[in-house]
Amino acid sequence: MRQFEDGAFNNGYKVVAGIDEAGRGPLAGPVVSASVVLPEGFSDPDITDSKKLTPKKRILLYSKITECALFVAIGISDTLEIEKVNILNASLNSMKRSVENLLVPPDFLLIDGKFEIDSDIPQKAIIRGDSRSVSIAAASIIAKVERDKLMFKFDQLYPEYGFAKHKGYPTKAHKKAILDHGITPIHRKTFKGVKEVLFAK
């Protein structure tokens, strides 16, 4: 989990940030990205892809990461932006914002996925990076926890949709709520899962 970080440090880079997002698949809510800069040599066998962790474990690791990391920042792309530029570009935009929000600019980026972001900073896109890089894995945990916090707030605004449980993902309960109550301002109207339910009405 340190091979990419060690490679960057060995090439003379000093501030290496791992970047990942959460929320590409849901039918509602924002996409949230995180950038995490860990100390050189940092490792933790518990830090891995957030999707492999229980909510309780993610919360515990979130606290540990924020305590141990040199810098942590998030970037958000809301539903309006997702609808305007599509989910891929919105995700890349949120990643870029998370990098720009770091207190100290990184000099190398490790990005989850196969696409780089629009930045002059040297970077490497890594497929399945959240399972191969400790920095990206840490970012995946931060992004997931931060997005979940937002979905809990949306659950209070729209209690009939169950956002606290499914976080906007296309579960049967969520689709039934859309069928029963229609869509909210945070629903992604262009997404196939939303259009299918609305068409079924």
For residues 107 and 133, is the Cβ–Cβ distance under 8 A? no
Tokens linked to 195: 């259009």
Mark the ranges of the chain whose per-residue pLDDT is less than 50. none
Q: What is the pLDDT of residue 159?
A: 96
Q: What is the pLDDT of residue 84?
A: 95
Residue with tokens 């040199």: 70
Residue of 117, 135, 139 whose CA lies nearest to 7: 135
Which pLDDT tens digit goes with each residue over 121-173? 999 999 998 999 999 999 999 999 999 999 999 999 999 999 999 999 999 99
Coil, strand, or helix at residue 180? helix
Contacts of 124 (CB under 8 A, 6+ apart): 4, 8, 108, 109, 110, 111, 116
- Where are the chain's structural domains? 3-157
Does the pTM surpass 0.85? The reply is yes
The H-assigned helical ranges of the chain are 3-10, 55-68, 79-85, 87-100, 134-157, 163-166, 172-181, 192-200
Q: What is the DSSP letter of 28?
A: B
Coil, strand, or helix at residue 187? strand
Residue of 81, 89, 78 whose CA lies nearest to 32: 78
**96 burial type by CB count under 10 A (0-12 exposed, 13-18 middle, 19+ buried):** buried
CATH class of the structural domain 3-157: alpha beta
Q: What is the pLDDT of residue 200?
A: 64
